[in-house]
Amino acid sequence: MTGNAAFFDPPESVRGMKVLDRNLFRKTVLIPGLAVPEKSIGKLAKSLKKEVLRFRSIKPVVELSAKDSLAKSHKLMLFNPLKIKSAEDFNEDQRTVLEKLNVVLSSFQFYSFDMNYDNWDHAEIIKAVLPEELEAVTGFAIVGHVAHLNLRDGADDYKNLIGQVILDKHRTLKTVVNKLKSIDSEFRNFKMELLAGEPDFTTTVKEHGCTFTFDFSKVYWNTKLGLAVPEKSIGKLAKSLKKEVLRFRSIKPVVELSVKDSLAKSHKLMLFNPLKIKSAEDFNEDQRTVLEKLNVVLSSFQFYSFDMKYDNWDHAEIIKAVLPEELEAVTGFAIVGHVAHLNLRDGADDYKNLIGQVILDKHRTIKTVVNKLKSIDSEFRNFKMELLAGEPDFTTTVKEHGCTFTFDFSKVYWNTKLGTEHNLVASQIKQEDTVFDVFAGVGPFAIPCGKKGITVFANDLNPDSYESLVLNVSKNKANHNSNVHCFNMDGRDFIKQIFSKEMERIWKDPSPKGTVHVLMNLPALAVEFLDSFVGLFNQSSCKPKDPNCLPYVHCYYFSKCENLEQDSREAVERVLGCTLDDSISIREVRNVAPGKEMMCIKFRVPESVLFKGNVETEGYALNCITCDSAADKECGDPFTANQEKYLVKCEPEETYCGKTVSTEDIRSRKYSVHFGY
């Protein structure tokens, strides 16, 4: 257990042992503990997980003494002795947790545990035995049932003990050998000596779907191969044999030769891909010609021993190795500032914390790893998440196309895959344009537009998104001309109140500039909000001077149909209740999942949609005052502001009174005109 080294180390009396005596590996440790009600064990272990004992061979929860009055209803929970030495070491927050779970500090006691040889692994035992000035021999390679070591200078007196310890601690091993430094000059294989176990060197190894059986004492097997190359020729040879040279992130392709090698002062050892070059015979004629020109002799071919460890593999390789073969490796994740977030696949739940820790270990800039849960907040559409590893710090900062965004990732929505889309849309909008961002989030569209001096009205229903939006507008100095206005409203209310008011102001302007863009980036729901535009101005006295004054809508939508464009168009037209003209633009934004595409539908909202129900633009009189009676047929005259004398129906009566009314009366709903569509 990290941090418990001195406390749980083997006894100091074994230092210098040269003949293994397992009976001397005995030590009694006193581990602090508290009596915990059985029903509260899980909750307390979770709340105090950093303090609870974690040591491979000692259970963190044990039985209380039979003499203890609480023995029938409680268990003894053990704690890290480097963090908790007495009841006084629990802080106020921890004491509050203990009190809520009915754990009393007066039950604090020490648990006596007798450690023996079985409680330590091979590395801990070898480190305890060797003299302190001698580096511990903990690394070795396994070839089938054979473990082979390269013992360091000074460890010779301890070699048989080291071999026996490794044999004891690894059930699959039957033989432990040490490679000697002398090399057979003819076959270039290392000689070896038996340290422990059976003298059985015929072993079987599996590699990349192939099985290899050989006598390890007579042939060479390794994953690293090389040639001694004159230093001045290294660059040329690396270029000429670039497909054969070793390329593995944690192993340099050129290393030093052994100091005992006669070429060590003038040459380096160049390593090759072991799947392509397994012996000197594997170099073809062209390659041999290159080697000869560069004064590289094939007789210098040798194997380089490299001890790989945790640091040598990346997160994807480690996770793939850990997960069962039938479970697809979880290698992909997105990084949002210092937070890495995953979408774990079904079946990976038992491995989720390990996966999180590996990702945390392998990426220095990451401090927090979370898993997105499948449930979605129905109101604000943000994913719930669980912490897998690292700090529970979800407030993060992201940079995107020259803008900085700060937000609490656990409370708002942010998608790293939409950066290109944000930049594309913002780049198409001109400085004289006006933007209404209905679902603005933390500002990925609004802020780059605001920085360009564009007038922006940005809205989001989520109060946390709104708070971050306001903060990010300020941080990015996007409002230096008071051109960015932020709102915390429902999308429909924003369209009906803010958008409609500003559109009337623009239409009243005798010389309006630019184009109006309405951004609706909520692909799961945005189409449903389009009904807010239907009849939005049916009581308005303002009208656009020409079609160019009508707003463009950029509506995002998820389509699962084979014909993406047709499905997207029909979804929009169905809500608007009209057929859009050919100026509509439909494009694919990104693939969200198999069979699911995110689409963007850009169109001008037709005047007939915005003014639907307005008698000045759409009404046709069913009866006019010049007709003889209400029973006469429709006259078909269009009803306009210049033709006020139409037969109307008084409210609440149902009869035709024939009264002449003004258009102002009609707008105020004092009367309702009979008209058709």
- Alpha-carbon distance of 406 to 395, in angstroms, equals 7
471 labeled part of a ligand binding site? no
**Secondary-structure percent of the chain, ordered helix, strand, coil, rounded to 5:** 30, 25, 45
Residue 150 DSSP one-character state:
-
Residue 634, amino acid? E
Residues 6+ apart with CB under 8 A from 676: 619, 620, 622, 634
Nearest to 439 by CA among 555, 330, 535: 555
The CB density around residue 347, as the number of other CB atoms within 10 Å, is: 13
9 labeled part of a ligand binding site? no
341 labeled part of a ligand binding site? no
Residues 6+ apart with CB under 8 A from 292: none
443 labeled part of a ligand binding site? no
Residue 587, phi then psi, degrees to nearest 5: -140, 155
461 labeled part of a ligand binding site? yes
Burial level of 426, CB count in 10 A (0-12/13-18/19+)? Answer: buried
The CB density around residue 139, as the number of other CB atoms within 10 Å, is: 11
Here the tokens at position 370 are 């979370």
Residue 242 DSSP one-character state:
T
- Alpha-carbon distance of 173 to 418, in angstroms, equals 52
Its sign, for the CA torsion 291, 292, 295, 299, is positive
Residue 197, amino acid? G
- Alpha-carbon distance of 615 to 621, in angstroms, equals 10
End-to-end CA distance of the chain: 80
Nearest to 471 by CA among 520, 383, 408: 408
| Vertex 240 angle, CA 237 and 245, to 5° | 70
Q: Tell me whether strands 254-255 and 403-408 are parallel, antiparallel or unpaired.
A: unpaired
Helices (H) and strands (E) in the chain, counts: 18, 29
491 labeled part of a ligand binding site? yes
- Alpha-carbon distance of 489 to 48, in angstroms, equals 41
Q: Could you check whether the bond before residue 253 is cis, i.e. omega within 30 degrees of 0?
A: no
* Three-class secondary structure assignment of 636-669: CCECCCCCCCECEECCCCCCECCCCCCHHHHHCC
Residue 262 DSSP one-character state:
T
DSSP-derived 3-state class of residue 590:
strand
The separation between CA 274 and the C-alpha centre of its own chain, rounded to angstroms, equals 34
Q: What is the dihedral of CA 236, 241, 242, 247, to 10 degrees?
A: -110
Instruction: Categorise residue 512: left if φ over 0, alpha if ψ from -120 to 50, beta otherwise.
Output: beta
- Alpha-carbon distance of 500 to 538, in angstroms, equals 11
Q: Do residues 161 and 129 make contact, with C-beta atoms less than 8 angstroms apart?
A: yes
- Alpha-carbon distance of 485 to 470, in angstroms, equals 9
Residues 6+ apart with CB under 8 A from 474: none
Residue 483 DSSP one-character state:
-
**Residues annotated within a binding site for S-adenosyl-L-methionine:** 422, 460-461, 490-491, 521
Residues belonging to the binding site are 422, 460-461, 490-491, 521
